[in-house]
Amino acid sequence: MNTQNGKTAINRVYHQLRIKILQCEFSPGEKLKIESLKVLLDIGASPIREALSLLTSDGLVNRIDQRGFRVALMSKENFNEILQLRCKLDDLALRKSIEFGDSKWEENLVILHHRLSRADIADFASWEAMHKAYHMALIGECNSPILLGYSNQLYDQNIRYRFLAERTADYKSRNVSDEHAKILNATIERDAELASELLISHYHSTSNFLVSLLEKNNLNVWN
């Protein structure tokens, strides 16, 4: 296998495993056995190990000394920490982006929002890619690569929790598209206070549906 083909294989396996983890096809804490993954993905062990290492960097997989890899655990405490950090960091990044962003940034936001509004939410991989592109573009002009790096990682770690929230019957009553549009409009109008308030409310809505899921099922769905 040449270098280019090797990178392509690693990238493919990375995305396949990432989607399965985000959609909770692998349970939190589940051991990811190389031999089983070789059969599941029809590929050799080397690309799988490389992909799992990348997912470890993303915080979605944990490396176990001498024992391989496991899917990162989920917990109420972990979600709350992710939520608090996203609210603080993305608030700062959005305000800075509104301050520094130019007309090209605004145009890109409008385009990305339009694509997201037309995307089929049932197509998880496609919709999720557009959703992330929109959210990261909102804060993308903050002129702080380190801040964006943290926000990017927190976004990825939040997806599994949002996927659980979407399982609640009441979630369908949530108008996510309208929430996105309101955030966009406030951002384009350069109203940092309103844009930040709407973004944080958008994040907290997921938390409310997760709490509802726990209460209605009287279960600990995290582990």
* Segments of 58-206 assigned E as strands: 61-64, 68-71
Among candidate residues 82, 52, 58, 47, the one with its CA nearest the CA of residue 70: 52
Helix or strand (DSSP H, E) at 31:
strand 31-32
pTM confidence score: 0.84
Write out the residue range of the structural domain in which residue 15 sits: 3-71
Based on the fold, state whether residues 65 and 119 are members of the same structural domain.
no
Based on the fold, state whether residues 45 and 111 are members of the same structural domain.
no
Based on the fold, state whether residues 63 and 154 are members of the same structural domain.
no
CATH number of the domain encompassing residue 33: 1.10.10.10
Q: Which of 24, 47, 71 is the last residue of a domain?
A: 71
Taking the C-alpha atoms of residue 80 and residue 57, their distance in angstroms, rounded to an integer, is: 20
pLDDT 10s digits, 152-171: 999 999 998 888 887 776 77
Based on the fold, state whether residues 145 and 102 are members of the same structural domain.
yes
Based on the fold, state whether residues 103 and 141 are members of the same structural domain.
yes
Taking the C-alpha atoms of residue 130 and residue 120, their distance in angstroms, rounded to an integer, is: 10
195 part of a folded domain: yes
Based on the fold, state whether residues 41 and 106 are members of the same structural domain.
no
Q: What is the pLDDT of residue 139?
A: 98
pLDDT 10s digits, 206-219: 888 877 666 665 44
pLDDT 10s digits, 33-86: 999 999 999 999 999 999 999 999 888 999 987 778 999 988 888 889 999 999
CATH number of the domain encompassing residue 106: 1.20.120.530
What is the SS3 assignment for 175? coil
Based on the fold, state whether residues 107 and 93 are members of the same structural domain.
yes
Q: Which of 19, 42, 71 is the last residue of a domain?
A: 71
Q: What angle do CA 6, 10, 14 make, to 5 degrees?
A: 170
Based on the fold, state whether residues 151 and 188 are members of the same structural domain.
yes
222 part of a folded domain: no
Q: Which of 36, 71, 106 is the last residue of a domain?
A: 71
Helix or strand (DSSP H, E) at 134:
helix 124-138
The total number of structural domains in the chain stands at 2
Based on the fold, state whether residues 197 and 171 are members of the same structural domain.
yes
Based on the fold, state whether residues 66 and 98 are members of the same structural domain.
no
